[in-house]
Homo-oligomer: A and B are copies of this chain.
Amino acid sequence: MRSDLDHLMGERNIDVLVIEGPDGMGSANPAFNYFVKGEHLVGLVVKKRGEPAILIHSPWEQVQAEKTGMVLVSRDRWSIREIEQDFPDPFDATVEHRRRMLADLGVSGRVGLYGTVPIGPFFALWMALAQKIPGLELVAEPQKDVISQARLTKSSDEIELMRDVGRRTCVVVQAVVDFIAAGRAEGDTVVDAHGTPITIGAVKAFMRRELAANNLEDPSGTIFAQGRDAGLPHATGDEAAQLKLGQAIVFDIFPRQAGGGYFHDMTRTFAIGHASADLQELYDTVKGSFEHVLGELEAGGPTIAFQKLTCQYFEARGHETIATKYPIEEGYIHSLGHGIGLEVHENIRFPSTIDSGDVIVPGCVFTLEPGLYYPSRNMGVRLEDTVYCRPDGSIESLTPFPMELVIPLRG
Contacts and interface: CB of A to CB of B under 8 A. Distances in A.
Interface of A: 20, 23-31, 40-41, 58-64, 76, 79, 81, 84, 88, 90-91, 93-94, 112-127, 138-143, 145, 205, 208-209, 211-213, 215, 217-218, 220-221, 229, 232-236, 258-260, 326-327, 334, 343-345, 353-354, 356
Contact of A27 (B120, B143, B220, B232): B220
A372 B128 CA distance: 38
Nearest to A94: B142
A90 B20 CA distance: 25
A101 to B, nearest CB: 16
A94 B191 CA distance: 48
A406 to B, nearest CB: 26
A121 B138 contact: no
B258 A208 contact: yes
A115 to B, nearest CB: 6
Q: How many copies does the complex hold?
A: 2
A122 B118 CA distance: 11
A356 to B, nearest CB: 6
A343 to B, nearest CB: 5
B116 A120 contact: no
A86 to B, nearest CB: 11
A143 B121 contact: yes
A255 to B, nearest CB: 11
B125 A119 contact: no
A26 B81 contact: no
Contacts of A258: 208, 218, 220
Contact of A236 (B24, B40, B220, B326): B40
A122 B220 CA distance: 24
Contacts of A233: 60
A119 B140 contact: yes
A123 B29 CA distance: 16
A218 B220 contact: no
Given A60-B232, A217-B218, A229-B63, A143 B91 contact: yes
Contacts of A327: 59, 76, 79, 81
Nearest to A127: B140
